[in-house]
Amino acid sequence: MTVRDGLPAQLEAYHALPAEALGDEARAVFAELLDALERGEARAAEPTADGWRVNGWVKKGILLGFRLGRVVATEPAGPLSFLDKDTFLPRRFSVGDGVRVVPGGTAVRHGAHVAPGVIVMPPAYVNVGAYVGENSLIDSHALVGSCAQVGRRVHLSAAAQLGGVLEPVGALPVIVEDDVLVGGNCGVYEGTIVGRRAVLGSGVILTGSVTVYDVPRKTTYRRQGDTPLRIPEGAVVVPGSRRLGDPFAERSGLALYTPVIVKYRDEKTDASAALEDALR
């Protein structure tokens, strides 16, 4: 990252102060963080040679913004009016940003990075601290939660939800790596990592408490302490169920939801998961 030397330390220091001790200088430093987030120079989490690293100072800076902000009325949208903190008002894009934000009710908060080539279909919401990589598609009713990290050429299908992870500041946010397809009505929460080129079939829910069953590799994956759940690269995940062994549950025919990896990507999967070039 190419953020200004000293910015992380300043944000850490202001975050530690009580609200009554914060003034215009703190607001100026916070505004600098928002600009760096929007340019993609600062990130709540970033890839490293060993995986992903959380930048707690970024999260502390965002939390600082909530204490600094004052509730104001935003510009009306037709007959509607909105009230929010003046530190987190919606972004405005220009043609030079190279982003398509299709009319119909989408909002992207200040402090979210939306790279060139991204298409956002209405209505969708991208929260502060989020990062959306080049040529990704955010479909209707999709959510990119606070600090979620989305790679390049990702397709978030209709009603897909990437949960926000702002607190605790050391917790890894939701991460969706390059070339992932997230099917309709999927939910990815609690710092789950979806490895590059994975496919989540419609309705898959990934949280910190589920166990993912990998049929081809005859193994399972789940969160272990501070180590998040990670979906392997190229995995194709669908909703499944696991029979309960309790006698009452067996008599009642009960089963629990569980995600199941049924295969790994092949040419047929690649063809069905390809982003539609015609949309661009």
Structure tokens at 189: 């929460």
CB 99 within 8 A of CB 138: no
The predicted structure's pLDDT at residue 148: 98
Alpha helices (H) along 201-280: 247-252, 267-273
Homologous superfamily assigned to 90-266:
Hexapeptide repeat proteins (2.160.10.10)
Architecture of domain 7-68: Orthogonal Bundle (1.10)
Cα separation, 60 vs 52, whole angstroms: 18
Half-sphere CA count of 239, side-chain side, radius 13 A: 13
Q: Which amino acid is at 44?
A: A
CATH 1.10.166.10 placement within the chain: 7-68
CB 162 within 8 A of CB 143: yes
CATH 2.160.10.10 placement within the chain: 90-266
The predicted structure's pLDDT at residue 279: 67
Cis bond before residue 123 (omega within 30° of 0): yes
- Looking at the chain, the whole-number percentage of residues with pLDDT higher than 70 is 98
According to DSSP, residue 179 is labeled T
Q: What are phi and psi of 25, to 5 degrees?
A: -65, -40
The predicted structure's pLDDT at residue 123: 97
Cα separation, 49 vs 60, whole angstroms: 24
247's CB contacts (< 8 A; 6+ apart) are: none
Question: Which pLDDT tens digit goes with each residue over 169-188?
Answer: 999 999 999 999 999 999 99
> With a cut of 50, which residues of the chain have pLDDT below it?
none
The predicted structure's pLDDT at residue 74: 85
The predicted structure's pLDDT at residue 233: 98
Structure tokens at 259: 């995600």
Measured distance between the N- and C-terminal CA atoms of the chain, rounded to whole angstroms: 29
Q: Is the pTM of this model over 0.85?
A: yes
Question: Which pLDDT tens digit goes with each residue over 102-126?
Answer: 999 899 999 999 999 999 999 999 9
